[in-house]
Amino acid sequence: MLKPILLVEDDPKDLELTLIALEKSQLANEVVICRDGADAVDYLFSRGAHADRGSGNPAVILLDLKLPKVDGIEVLQLVRATAELKSVPVVMLTSSREEQDLLRSYELGVNAYVVKPVAFRDFVDAISDLGIFWAVLNEPPPGSARVIRKNP
């Protein structure tokens, strides 16, 4: 069973571009979309609108930093403070180039911090590379399901 990719993004344009890029990378994983941090936390803890989701963690969390309700830093803190979630790779995907955001993200254990490129082609390439790396090339902890690509 393939693990889903959890995409936490509130900006409709960035969401659409990210989905296009993930499709381009031909990953077979389902992409679960949360549009704010509170919804992402509900998904991760199987509560609220996500109370009936299947068990298991996502293959990777692509997390925007600036989110409504609960920001990306708070979501990252919760993930890293929860034994069942702390080994899930988290990629901060943000437009913030602020040093304090970068430092805080790494202090809290983010796996990667990627500033969203402005140019469409650069954005698509960056997301495609992220998807392939974290969902295919990265070696997950023992006992985790591997992720496969659709007909490459």
User: All domains of the chain, ordered by start, with CATH?
Assistant: 5-137 (3.40.50.2300)
Nearest-angstrom CA–CA distance, 14 and 28 = 21
Which pLDDT score is estimated for 148?
34
Query: What is this structure's pTM?
Result: 0.82
Nearest-angstrom CA–CA distance, 40 and 34 = 5
**What is the number of residues in the chain?**
152
Which pLDDT score is estimated for 138?
57
Which pLDDT score is estimated for 131?
64
Listed as ranges, residues in the chain with pLDDT below 70 are: 1, 117-118, 130-152
Helices 120-132, 12-24: crossing angle, 10 deg rounding: 60
Radius of gyration of the chain (CA): 14
Nearest-angstrom CA–CA distance, 125 and 119 = 10
